[in-house]
Amino acid sequence: MTPQLPYATLKQIFARFAEAEPHPKGELEHTNAFTLLVAVALSAQATDAGVNKATRKLFQIADTPEKMLALGEEGLIEHIRTIGLYRNKAKNVIRLSRLLIENFGGEVPSSRAALTTLPGVGRKTANVVLNMWFHHPAQAVDTHIFRVGNRTGIAPGKDEAAVERAIEDNVPAEYQGHAHHWLILHGRYICTARNPKCGICPIRDWCLYPEKTA
């Protein structure tokens, strides 16, 4: 049960994030809403570096639902074989492309309810698309944010839904828009799962994680 950091401390923490990285961006490469949606779906349990390596070539060939269908499941597998869980992902992306054409006029829908009707698109993936493409106030909780939220006390919660609520409830309003990428980049490069780099952590002064001696 990690305690929740007080609001005044959260303001200091996010001010520090904002100072270090005024305009944080995601690192998944994409050229339009469709390629963003596909890239996020492919990124489940995979590094974005690995996803980018595969999608760089893939999106030159298939950057629309129509082209993805033309490529086909077997053709798609050839491109994403190096990413984990590739059979499920290939099947989902093909079915998702067909559904976009049949149900949404070939466009990526802008509501969570519509997005989550697509195969391979759950609440987390939908929230990433809503935040990054449509600039909606949606907080996607991935493995990094779940870990960072609980470890630091920024947004503790027993599951992803609880952490999502904690972010919405406790992160100062002026920082909500960029909170997702600040937290994810912090988790990826500083507050790593195995050997967190507490020695160079910019928010170490306020963190509740006991192993802040490294």
Partner DNA sequence: ATCCCGAGGG
Partner DNA sequence: CCCTCTGGAT
* Active site (annotated) includes residue 124: yes
Q: Please check whether residue 93 is in contact with residue 120, taking contact to mean a CB–CB distance below 8 angstroms.
A: yes
Part in contact with DNA (CB under 7 A); list of ranges 12-20, 87-95, 99-107, 202-210: 87-95
- Identified catalytic residue from 124, 169, 197, 212: 124
Q: Is 201 annotated as a binding residue?
A: yes
Annotate 77-125 with three-state secondary structure: HHHHCCCCCHHHHHHHHHHHHHHHHHHHCCCCCCCHHHHCCCCCCCHHH
Q: Does 180 bind DNA (CB under 7 A)?
A: yes
Which positions from 33 through 62 interact with DNA, judged by CB under 7 A? 40-41, 43-50, 53
Q: Does 119 bind DNA (CB under 7 A)?
A: yes
Rounded Cα–Cα distance for residues 128 and 136 (Å):
9
| Least separation in angstroms between CB 121 and DNA | 6
The only residue of 26, 109, 153, 157 in contact with DNA, by rule CB under 7 A: 26
The only residue of 140, 163, 201, 203 in contact with DNA, by rule CB under 7 A: 140
The only residue of 13, 142, 167, 186 in contact with DNA, by rule CB under 7 A: 142
Exposure b/e, 50-62, CB count within 10 A at least 16 = b: ebbebbeebbeeb
Closest CA to 172 of 10, 25, 16: 10
Structure tokens at 45: 């349990």
Part in contact with DNA (CB under 7 A); list of ranges 13-21, 101-109, 111-119, 199-207: 111-119
Looking at residue 3, the DSSP 8-state letter turns out to be: P
Q: Does 124 bind DNA (CB under 7 A)?
A: yes
Structure tokens at 11: 């303001």
Q: Does 82 bind DNA (CB under 7 A)?
A: yes
Structure tokens at 34: 């469709």
Rounded Cα–Cα distance for residues 6 and 170 (Å):
9
Q: Does 129 bind DNA (CB under 7 A)?
A: no
Instruction: Provide the annotated active-site residues.
Output: 124, 142
Binding residues for [4Fe-4S] cluster: 191, 198, 201, 207
Q: State the residues that interact with DNA by CB under 7 A.
A: 26-28, 40-41, 43-50, 53, 81-88, 92, 116, 118-126, 128, 132, 140, 142-144, 147, 180-181, 184, 187-188, 192-195
